Structure 1
Amino acid sequence: MSEWPQEEWAPPGVDPSTPSVARVHDALLGGMENFAADRSVARRLKEAVPEVVDLVWCDRAFVGRVVDFLVREAGIRQIVDLGAGLPTIENTHEVAQFADPSTRVVYVDVDPMVEPHARAILRGNPHATAITADARDVTAVLGHPGLRRLIDLSRPVGVLAIGLLHLFPDQDDPHGIVRRYMDALPPGSHLAASNMLASANPKAKALEVMLQATMGTGHFRSREEIGRYFDGLDLVEPGLVHFPEWRPDDRLPHPLASWEQLLVGGVARKP
């Protein structure tokens, strides 16, 4: 007998017995767009690192502060959100268009469930859309008709690669991927990127082992390796830091907890 319930319905092209990063993320956030296989992985991740749900919300808060900075301070009015995942709350387009309603946002994800759900949320929003594409295929993403309909590649673009690059093994050349995106965009464009941080932190090792066991992915990297994502770009203050340290809304009241030290990221401008 199959481990997963046979009555679970899935749209064409989606195998409900195979967990996906987007749906596991949704399950961790308490969403409904996931299957038993995804919920099983979410449970195992929470058993390995009980604070993993806090980590996911920390990620969302970081994205929100980054997007607000891009629109309000950096003057960006076009954003491409790579590996966007399933819609949650305080989505990229909501934060960006709260700052400036004219900001255009394109969500990109390889999971075929993401696009229809995003489109349902975006119905009636002429400045935001979602496309199904593999973020590693830079040509396909930037040449996609859905993206080109909204994004003018001759003008500065903000590229979000947050919560994405640690999914790619070294053989996929994640550094080369972000470099190709930035090479294709004009000066003034910005890159926001992050990665799980390799360290002696026991929670880092526990999470890495469990991600590899359940998803076959999760590639933690050193601070130096993560910094290379921004080669040739100008890092904006405060540089490459743990998520809670990047332009916090309030003063950090205490030293970071061990789980808050699992992710680092930054934002940089193409000169």
Structure 2
Amino acid sequence: MIAIVAVPKSFCETPKKPSSDHRPRKKRHRIGSSGIVPYKRRARKPIDHAKEGRIMTTNKTGRITGTEMEEAISRFERDCRSDGVGETVRSFIREPLFIWMDALAQASDESVSHSEGEFHAECGLDRNMIMRTTVGINRMLSIRDVFLISAIVDERYADRDFLMSFAERPKLSRNAQRLEQLLSDSFRDPLARPDMKRCDQAINMLFDIIDMIPKTYRAQPFAVISYIMWWMGQEGAMASAISALAIDDQCSLAAIVCSAVERRIGPAWTSET
């Protein structure tokens, strides 16, 4: 799983319940009468993700039901057993990941002129792609992490071949070491400013995914949003992390973000602004 400066430890590839990574960790929050209270301080309310004026990035044809998600997860797990994890991840995630990355590239391309509110449909995640993405980021943390990394690290350094390789084989030494180096370099370099347009696009797409899926499966998308916002130096990071923990109090990525925000830890570039 992603830590603040790097380190994919051993991944939990099949969480026992939706959205939970079930990593053993020290408790950093408690449940009070008014909800989750991290670090003995009252938390902000969970984020209201229905933001006015937000550009839609999905082709919606109706929200995904819990039954549909359960069937998709069963199919994914069945394919993992019959075809192997690597082959299943490749066939299940490659298309939505590449559509996602096309959208990020489009958003960050300053040479392309877009009218306000315009979004190219070919770069949008449709209902099937959203379902596959949701299954992936909930069932394998390596898949969650490649969606996160693709937003905060430029594709020149974390290309699609590497991200797919990491999603399929996160414990492979060269994959783990490369990811650790990418995050460490980006975290410590004061000149490594994030591509704000790319990050904003990722956040918008994740909010649209959240709009489409049952609440039970929203913790990991909220956690990824919180990490991207933290990386960008945005105040919304804590609220998004609290939203994830309100759904799944074992979501350690969200707890990491809460800890970083509370301790005023951030990427080096934020101290230069």
Per the TM superposition, whether the score is higher than 0.5 is no
> Greater RCO between the two (CA within 8 Å, min separation 6)?
2
TM-score normalised by structure 1 residue count: 0.28
